Amino acid sequence: MGSQARAASRYCDPSPIFGEVAPEVIEDTLIHLAAENEQYLSELSDRAGCFKETRTVEFIFLLSEKWHLDQSARYQAVELLERFMIKQVEQICESSRENVKSLEQGQGSSRSSLKDQIYDTFVLRLVSCIQLASKLSLHYNVVNSDTALKFLQSLKYSYTKQELLESELTVLKSLHFQINVSTPLAYVELLLEVLGHNGFLLPAKPLHQMCLQLLDFSYLIRDSIYDTLLKVAIENSTPSKLQVAKFLTVKEDFMLLAVGIISTSVFILNPGHWKQVVEHLNCITGITSQSILEFSYAVLKHIVGSTTPEQHYGNCGTKAPENRILSLK
């Protein structure tokens, strides 16, 4: 009975279970995520991040909470919407290039019509992305058509169930059915697993919970955090257009985001272990201690206006290695 009770409580607890994954599985998964991250950055659209503005992210987070979705679903929905909308914008640009040699009225209105359609269906597509994200976690709640339709009708939209299903299919086709994308949360949880395997003994559950809160925070004020990070990295309050453009890969780097979130969480919960964790994260990911420090500084600056991590690291007597971000100067 005791083992059955423990199994039942474990099944009901939505928190991940750390310390029960074989080392070879951890290593393979880490290699896979690192490669996936590098490939994503190498193929990055120059429009990346345009659809992660605060109001959109907050809308998705609130809907996910209303529908009792797990944490990963909310991040997955944000990423799906972002990638889908970029495809839509690229379609508009392609249409413009095809018609650029002609100024006929019909062609111009065709481009305007596509823009209007994207604008008019944005909330529908957002809901579809949440629905798709919910279906990737089958052991949690799935947002069915009735639930989604009821919500849209409460906003005075008159979509039918058929239009809702067609919207999901539109997103799927646009993304070539590749919707099971890794989110920053997957990177955070894997790195926490690696830290635990390497003997880092800070309790996993409160650290994981703090990471979730900071990841939400970082999504909600994303632009402000990365604006601070850029200015810190280049040591200049007025970055050039070239520096901003080159910084896009930093803003979209999920591995950097994950190590920054873990570093900041450890600093808040147990600053005495912070330097050790930063060094561990540097060894695991290859991201320099300086980059991790600067990310933690940027996050904490927007939480409490603190400069403590930078001062704390400086007092350790360890010179941080040169940061890849600083090459933007």
59 plus 165 within the same structural domain = yes
End position of a domain, from candidates 175, 202, 217: 175
Lowest mean pLDDT among 49-63, 77-91, 301-315: 301-315
Q: What local confidence, expressed as pLDDT, does residue 110 receive?
A: 56
Q: What local confidence, expressed as pLDDT, does residue 221 receive?
A: 95
Q: What local confidence, expressed as pLDDT, does residue 5 receive?
A: 44
How is residue 28 written in tokens? Answer: 């393979």
Q: What local confidence, expressed as pLDDT, does residue 226 receive?
A: 96
Does residue 324 sit within a domain? no
223 plus 247 within the same structural domain = yes
Of residues 34 and 118, which shows the higher confidence score?
34
Mean pLDDT throughout 143-153? 95
136 plus 203 within the same structural domain = no
Of residues 3 and 67, which shows the higher confidence score?
67
Nearest to 265 by CA among 220, 187, 211: 211
197 plus 263 within the same structural domain = yes
- Longest alpha-carbon distance in the chain: 77
Boundaries of domain holding 165: 48-98+110-175
Give the CATH number, domain containing residue 118: 1.10.472.10
74 plus 160 within the same structural domain = yes
Mean pLDDT throughout 322-326? 39
Count of domains forming the chain: 2
Mean pLDDT throughout 260-265? 97
94 plus 146 within the same structural domain = yes
End position of a domain, from candidates 145, 175, 205: 175
Mean pLDDT throughout 24-38? 94
Lowest mean pLDDT among 193-202, 205-214, 243-252: 193-202
**For residue 208, is pLDDT > 90?**
yes
Mean pLDDT throughout 240-258? 95
Q: What local confidence, expressed as pLDDT, does residue 92 receive?
A: 79
Span between the terminal Cα atoms of the chain, in Å: 63
Q: What local confidence, expressed as pLDDT, does residue 315 receive?
A: 47
Mean pLDDT of the chain: 84
Q: What local confidence, expressed as pLDDT, does residue 328 receive?
A: 36
230 plus 260 within the same structural domain = yes
Q: Tell me the three state secondary structure of residue 322.
A: coil
Q: What local confidence, expressed as pLDDT, does residue 227 receive?
A: 95
Q: How confident is the model at residue 120 (pLDDT cuts 50, 70, 90)?
A: confident
Does residue 39 sit within a domain? no
188 plus 242 within the same structural domain = yes
Element (H, E) at 263: helix 254-269
Mean pLDDT throughout 18-25? 81
Q: What local confidence, expressed as pLDDT, does residue 209 receive?
A: 94
82 plus 157 within the same structural domain = yes
Does residue 126 sit within a domain? yes
**For residue 314, is pLDDT > 90?**
no
**For residue 299, is pLDDT > 60?**
yes
Lowest mean pLDDT among 107-116, 131-140, 229-238: 107-116
